[in-house]
């Protein structure tokens, strides 16, 4: 992933410990029903479930969550599975400290690894499913991560990953907003990219694309719940991201790849 600190994480951890936030460190997914009756934590659960559904999980699977946050995604995977090994990978020890408070059940086992996303200390072909929920943009090299996922996956194993991508800004104002985002949520090494570039990187890694879906419109209501009223896009990365999203320059893409 990266050796640089994620400066926005301490505030999220503090909110979790104070009971003001869930154990998800990602945006929400809003369907029509949720949009009519807004529920921020429910939207985060829905985003997690969307990824887990795409993973096609089965009991007995070995599952790795790369960029696992503070463990919410594997907690929900634990509720779906029995006799499975659920491993979270994170470069940030602060987040792993929270993860270790998660308790497995149903014969499952949790494991937590402090390492980089491009160098995971597990054997080749040892994993049935790899998840990376809204973390890839922090990785210094998407190609390296995709190649590592391909190395770990068994034949016909599956990778589900989500990425936030930006179109190249065409105005000075949008360029400044993108700079606020990438500085505030640093590291964000390559914010300008697109789905076709990701498909090519995955193909280079030996992965086959099964599905790629842009869910940006379903993510858009999130900003109404997480941008403080006093925040301005000139200084606040979350407000700047909101404005780029509303301008149509932000794309939230979920991809499903398979190891042949």
For the chain, the structural domain boundaries read 9-258
Which pLDDT score is estimated for 7? 72
Model confidence at 6: pLDDT above 80: no
Instruction: Record the pTM.
Output: 0.94
How far apart CA 215 and CA 254 sit, in angstroms, is 7
Task: Domain 9-258: give its CATH superfamily.
Answer: Vaccinia Virus protein VP39 (3.40.50.150)
Model confidence at 36: pLDDT above 70: no
Q: Which residue's entry shows tokens 């050796």?
A: 3
196 catalytic per annotation: no
Q: Which of 134, 148, 196, 234 is catalytic?
A: 134
The residue among 51, 98, 96 whose CA lies nearest residue 76 is: 51
Q: pLDDT tens digits for 106-115?
A: 999 999 999 9
Q: Could you tell me the pLDDT band of residue 8, with boundaries at 50, 70 and 90? A: confident
The sign of the CA dihedral 90, 17, 219, 186 is negative
Q: Could you tell me the pLDDT band of residue 3, with boundaries at 50, 70 and 90? A: very low
How much is the average pLDDT of 231-240?
Answer: 97
């Amino acid at each position: 992933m990266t050796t640089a600190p994620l400066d926005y994480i301490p505030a999220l951890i503090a909110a979790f410990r104070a009971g003001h936030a869930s154990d998800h460190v990602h945006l929400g997914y809003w369907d029509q029903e949720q949009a009519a009756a807004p529920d921020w934590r429910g939207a985060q659960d829905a985003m997690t479930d969307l990824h887990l559904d795409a993973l096609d999980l089965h009991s007995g699977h070995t599952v790795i969550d790369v960029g696992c946050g503070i463990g919410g995604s594997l907690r929900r995977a634990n509720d779906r599975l029995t006799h499975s090994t659920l491993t979270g990978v994170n470069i940030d020890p602060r987040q792993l400290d929270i993860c270790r408070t998660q308790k497995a059940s149903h014969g499952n086992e949790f494991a937590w690894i402090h390492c980089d996303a491009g160098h995971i200390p597990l054997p080749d072909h040892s994993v049935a499913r790899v998840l990376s929920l809204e973390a890839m943009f922090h990785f210094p090299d998407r190609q390296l991560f995709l190649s590592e996922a391909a190395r770990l996956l068994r034949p016909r194993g599956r990778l589900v990953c989500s990425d936030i991508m930006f179109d190249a800004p065409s105005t000075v104002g949008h360029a400044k907003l993108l700079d606020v985002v990438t500085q505030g949520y640093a590291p964000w090494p390559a914010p300008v990219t697109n789905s076709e570039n990701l498909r090519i990187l995955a193909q280079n890694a030996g992965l086959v694309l099964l599905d790629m879906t842009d869910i940006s419109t379903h993510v858009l209501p999130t900003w109404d719940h997480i941008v403080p009223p006093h925040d301005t896009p000139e200084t606040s990365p979350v407000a700047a991201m909101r404005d780029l999203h509303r301008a149509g320059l932000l794309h939230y893409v979920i991809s499903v790849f398979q190891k042949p």
